[in-house]
Amino acid sequence: MNVFIILIALAPVLTGFTFIEQTSDWKLEKNKKGIKIYTRELQGSEYKEVKAVTNIKTSLSSLVAALKDVPSHTSWIYNCEEGKILKQISETEQYCYTISDAPWPAENRDVVYSFTINQDAATKTVITTSTGMPEYIPPESGLTRVYEFKTSWIFTPGQDSIINVQYQAHVDRSEERRVGKECRSRWSP
């Protein structure tokens, strides 16, 4: 599971990711300890999209269990201070809330999101998707709400309990940033 933790730790370092139309192919940025980190330019975004890929010797069920157990995210997701399930919709969907520690002088970030899991019956590949739901609960004082949030995990089983893990995400920092950009585009000369 250490490689899984490294994937999570590296992703925020490279963020500003998004799932919008790309304008370039993936570029390999790092290839270290069996983890490949890719980025690509995106149309309509000042940030690059990031993808991390590795292989882990484990079971699909343990990877899915780690993602679904949101309160345990504090023990393995980099800078996660709090994680909780707000509402269990079904066995394959839940609404979640996390708080992440941000370096000074920035405020800590919180994100509200819908988490879904699907599995292909033929290939056994598991795909999870997390999509921001910033209006589901009111923002907390002293935290910066993440308004644009989308991640996916793809777990593809191979031989000898080796799972190919692919992580892709888009995170935009806050409503404050979105509104500022919107205002600049409206009132700039």
Could you give the CA distance from residue 37 to residue 14 in angstroms, rounded to a whole number?
Answer: 9
Q: Residue 30: helix, strand or coil by DSSP?
A: strand
Whole-model pTM: value is: 0.77
* Tokens matching residue 44: 């309509």
Q: What is the pLDDT of residues 154-180, one digit of tens each?
A: 999 999 999 999 999 877 754 445 444
Kindly tell me the sign of the dihedral angle through the C-alpha atoms of 164, 32, 39, 81. positive
**Cα–chain center distance at 36:** 16
pLDDT value, residue 173: 58
Is a pLDDT exceeding 60 seen at residue 66? yes
Using DSSP bridges, classify how beta strands 143-145 and 108-119 pair: parallel, antiparallel or unpaired: parallel
Residue 41's pLDDT band (boundaries 50, 70, 90)?
confident
